[in-house]
Chains A and B, each alone.
Chain A
Amino acid sequence: MSGLWNLQTLWFVLVCVLWIGFMFLEGFDFGVGMLLRLVGKSPEERRAVIHTIGPVWDGNEVWLLTAGGATFAAFPNWYASMFSGFYLALFLVLFGLIIRGVSFEFWGKVESAQWRSVWEWAMAVGSFLPALLVGVAFANLIRGISLDPAGNYTGSFWDLLNPYALLGGVVTLLLCLAHGASFLQLRTVDPIKPRAAALGRILMPLAAVAVIGFVLWTFGEVSHHSPSFWITAIVAIVAMLIAAGMAVTSRPGLAFVAGGVGIAMTVATWFTALYPNVIVDSNSHAYNLTVFNSSSNHYTLVVMSITALILVPIVLIYQVWTYYVFRQRVGLGGSSPKAGPDAPAPPPEASARV
């Protein structure tokens, strides 16, 4: 059971990778959802904003489902304690994901400003809740929650809203917003693009400050600092500083990449701060859930490992293909690929569609 190279640790890393995939990809979806009404003013502009993530948001969200499923399969005790312990918080996450998911489909179906406004707000609120609460949840796992011997959470919903956890939530919220602003600059045309750039110039430095504050506080919360913690924490800070610099100097491509590394390493810092724990027991550390006492049996982990090692690369290949297919900027007037600034004027029926 000891040593670093065992299946439990492999699965801990894989669950971390799935969360990174989720926060990196769905992170900009959440950001776009929250920024929609700020960067798009007319219905045409808002349609273009929605179309930047339209083809991909659902696939991106599956990373969350896979992370949940993988935690269930590989660490049933972690899954059970975390999901039942954070019951109301997770309900709010689900509430957000539900109203957000249907809002994409509902938004354009009725020609009415009021109707669209309802679903734009649903997109914003539905993106805000998970973006905030994912950070709150993981910060609580690191800080510790009160557990009974069976691993059940004994605190209340309000205990989860402590200052450290709220900072964790602000971190994920700002990361999603800043990442979304970078993404929009890469995928849209004027007048949306400069609005996103102006927001990115504020949001990315704020996100960097939040990440630095969170990493330093985490340093204090965690008693044992492994080399991997140091590496992920330092890379997270450096990447966010670079991202902030790139956003301020209007280099969205580099800001997107550096911000993405910042997101990935912030998520990785959660995991390196936790390891070998998965949930810290705040009372005495006696009932800490660890990768070893919360995992499935060896056979299940072997089967899951083989499956994941075959399927994850395949998923990555076709998801990358999706981004290749939709690589062109989304113009105004339907997502006509030819409607970019350098392209000839779109055909009349295209620009007439709202």
Chain B
Amino acid sequence: MSSVVELSRWQFAITTVYHFLFVPISIGMAGIVACFQTAWYRTRNPQWMRLTRFFGKIMLLSFAVGVVTGIVQEFQFGMNWAGYSRYVGSVFGAPLAVEALAAFFIESTFLGIWIFGYKRISEGWHLATIWLAAFGSALSAYFILAANSWMQHPVGYRVVDGRAEMTSFWKLLTNPTVFFAFPHTVIGAYANAAFIILGISAWYLIRNRDTEMFKKAAKAMVVVGVVATAATMLIGHFNGQLMTREQPMKMAAAEALYNTAKPAGFSLFAVAPFEEHPSRTSFDITVPHTLSLLATNSWSGEVKGINQLQAADVAKYGPGNYEPIIGVTYWSFRLMVGAGTLMVLFLLWGLYLVWRGAIETSRWFLKLALPAMALPTIAIITGWLFTELGRQPWVVYGLMLTKNGVSTSITAFDVWVSIILFTVIYGVMGAVAVWLTVRIVKKGPDPELDEAGAPIEPNLHVAY
């Protein structure tokens, strides 16, 4: 049976990580493209409309992959995690159902009108549809994160007859965890989209194609990006302090802090075995007092260690191992923070160039903007791996162990079939989406004027 648990975990990890490569780009780009279209609506400068259409097409590719992989997410709870679904359905199902009703309908319906409705409805209404789609996708994130936050920090429930039952939907929606997780995730999504648009704009600026237009986009994205990245990191910091209180084991694992320390140093580079559960690090470089300061706002605050937390958990929940895989938790946290720091530094450089009016001439900045497109994705994916792996062995923290949540009516063969085929389809689909994006970029935005010098009004707008 353990192989069904492990395979199901792998499948959930693969499909969820893949889904979330695209979702933040869609969420962020929807809002940014809406801003481009708003700029066109107000200024009538055709460059803004060309940017809207150009990045709109790229956004739609990302949306398409995000939408179809999102259906898998909702079905997987029942398919692979029937035990979990029975135990938590009364609580966890509600935000998922409300997400579909309140948010996903808005997003998909108005996105459809935006794609096909150009010149069919008034310009004001058409602008409203892209804003509604952007709003719907962010609202969708709220309900999904409320559901996830309940797994991190269950509230508003009681356990009756061997299952969790909801006692307050309001508490679920106002979980302190979601108040941090939501802005951290959605503002992070805007940072991600800003890096993608900045990178693509840099590609044009390097080649001197449509320089004036892409300079506009690049400048805007540096500003949006620096604000969004800094805000994401700041919220992440407070999120970490909350996590230290709510899930002390996750924070201790993030720091590979085996023994309670007062004051605690911030670990820069530690080595400990990945799979086993050691009782100490093999090697660790720390900055004194820094972890105490970050986690508790106090110069010498106490931060609990893994060994003490494990002992406390055994006393509370019975014999068992309550530690996540320390190496993965530790390094995913560092990669997230590291990538975020590089993002801020890179954008501060960009901000300086914008201030000097030299962004389109700085070859180094423009060239680095291309690989920099990967940084937000690294930060986001490692951030989620940290969040979810750091919660293990719990699926709902303190309430249900992951291994107890798996379906009993499926076999390892079933999961092998689905995991292999999902990986294959997702791989092909992702390759096609990226290839098409590159094609769109190489082809470039629709020209402003046709051969006769008349303004072009594309018949299909952004439709297929």
Chain A contacts to B: CB under 8 angstroms: 47, 50-51, 54-59, 61-62, 64-66, 68-70, 72-77, 79-85, 87-88, 90-91, 94-95, 97-99, 101-102, 104-110, 150-154, 296-297, 299-300, 303-304, 307-308, 311-312, 315, 318-319, 322, 325-326, 333-337, 347, 349-350, 353
Contact = CB atoms under 8 A, between A and B. Distances in A.
Given A81-B82, A110-B439, A98 B71 contact: yes
Given A69-B99, A296-B93, A303-B94, A56 B85 contact: no
B285 interface: no
A94 B169 contact: no
B93 to A, nearest CB: 3
Contact of A90 (B79, B88, B409): B79
B464 A54 contact: yes
B409 A101 contact: no
Interface stretch (B159-167, B232-240, B252-260, B300-308): B159-167
Contact of B89 (A50, A65, A79): A79
A83 B459 contact: no
B105 to A, nearest CB: 5
Interface of B: 60-61, 63-65, 67-72, 74-75, 77-80, 82-83, 85-86, 88-94, 96-102, 104-106, 108-113, 115-117, 119-121, 160, 163, 165-167, 169, 407-410, 414, 417-418, 421, 425, 429, 432-433, 436, 439-440, 450, 456, 459-460, 463-464
Contacts of B102: 307, 311
21 contacts: A54-B116, A56-B109, A58-B108, A61-B108, A62-B108, A65-B104, A72-B78, A72-B89, A76-B90, A77-B86, A81-B409, A85-B409, A87-B79, A101-B67, A102-B433, A104-B464, A105-B63, A154-B409, A308-B101, A315-B105, A315-B109
Contacts of B121: 325
**4 shortest interchain CB distances as A-B pairs:** A76-B89, A83-B78, A73-B93, A69-B97
Given A62-B105, A350-B459, A80 B71 contact: no
Given A73-B93, A325-B117, A350-B459, A94 B75 contact: yes
Contact of A98 (B68, B166, B440): B68
Contact of B78 (A47, A79, A336): A79
Contacts of B97: 66, 69-70, 72-74, 304, 307
Given A72-B89, A88-B414, A91-B417, A334 B459 contact: yes
B71 A65 contact: yes
Given A84-B78, A87-B410, A59 B166 contact: no
A296 B85 CA distance: 11
B104 A74 contact: no
A105 B167 contact: no
Given A77-B86, A87-B418, A109-B436, A97 B93 contact: no
B67 A58 contact: yes
A244 to B, nearest CB: 31
A66 B112 contact: no
B459 A336 contact: yes
A102 B115 contact: no
B324 to A, nearest CB: 26
Nearest to A93: B75
Given A69-B99, A304-B97, A322-B109, 10 more contacts: A50-B464, A65-B70, A73-B96, A76-B88, A87-B410, A90-B75, A307-B98, A315-B101, A319-B105, A337-B120
A72 B82 CA distance: 10
B429 A98 contact: yes
Contacts of B60: 105
Given A91-B418, A98-B425, A102-B68, A55 B113 contact: yes
Interface centre among B82, B160, B166, B425 (most CB of A within 10 A): B82
Nearest to A334: B459
Contacts of B436: 106, 109-110
B388 to A, nearest CB: 20
Contacts of A109: 436, 439-440, 464
A300 B414 contact: no
B112 A56 contact: yes
Contacts of A79: 77-78, 85, 89, 93
Given A54-B116, A84-B79, A91-B418, A299 B100 contact: no
A98 B77 contact: no
A51 B116 contact: yes
Contacts of A77: 86, 89
B75 A83 contact: yes
Interface centre among B64, B69, B117 (most CB of A within 10 A): B64
A55 B112 contact: yes
A178 B345 CA distance: 59
A80 B86 contact: yes
Nearest to B57: A109
Nearest to B163: A76
Nearest to A108: B464
A57 B112 CA distance: 8
A75 B85 CA distance: 10
A84 B69 CA distance: 19
Contact of A335 (B64, B75, B83, B463): B463
Contact of B459 (A80, A296, A353): A353
Contacts of A95: 421, 425
A103 to B, nearest CB: 9
Nearest to B432: A106
A324 to B, nearest CB: 10
Nearest to B414: A87
A31 to B, nearest CB: 18
A308 to B, nearest CB: 7
Contacts of B440: 109
B74 A349 contact: no
